[in-house]
Amino acid sequence: MKFLLDAQLPSSLAGWLQQRGCEAVHVAEIGLQHASDETIWAAALERQAILVTKDRDFNEWALNRHPRARVLWLRFGNTRNWFLMARLEAVWPEVLEGLQSNVSVIEVGNR
């Protein structure tokens, strides 16, 4: 599974995903740290990657745009990196199941 991490997420999340056997790259690693949403969306499509983001706009785009990128929408406010990764760890089996079912958006919140 391939992931592209949006700018507001920590680059260490790419390493966390890689440790779980995924391909993952942060937008900063490919020169898109300050790119527009359109450019990041296009990069996700080009790479055939799931876009990992906190941005609600990408959630809406995944449901309404064509071509359609897939989105892992992390609905956390500002939080420490360790909390973000601990929360993902707790729900990772469910996230994978959802991603394998080919849905457009997987949402992970604070609960």
Host domain of residue 47 = 2-108
Alpha helices in 1-111 (DSSP H): 12-19, 37-47, 56-64, 81-100
According to the model, what pLDDT value does residue 76 have? 81
Q: How far apart are CA 40 and CA 8, in angstroms?
A: 12
pLDDT, one tens digit per residue, over 60-98 is 899 888 888 899 999 987 889 998 999 999 999 999 999
* SS3 state of residue 63: helix
According to the model, what pLDDT value does residue 7 have? 95
pTM of the model: 0.93
From residue 69, give the alpha-carbon distance in Å to each of 4, 19, 49, 85, 104: 11, 23, 8, 23, 7
pLDDT, one tens digit per residue, over 1-50 is 999 999 999 999 999 999 999 999 999 999 999 999 999 999 999 999 99
Q: Answer yes or no: is pLDDT of 105 > 80.
A: yes
Residue 48 phi/psi, 5-degree rounding, is: 55, 45
According to the model, what pLDDT value does residue 79 have? 86
At which residue do the structure tokens 């071509």 appear? 67
Q: How far apart are CA 85 and CA 63, in angstroms?
A: 26
* SS3 state of residue 109: coil
Indicate the number of domains in the chain. Answer: 1
Q: Answer yes or no: is pLDDT of 109 > 90.
A: no
CATH number at residue 82: 3.40.50
Tokens of 95: 């996230």
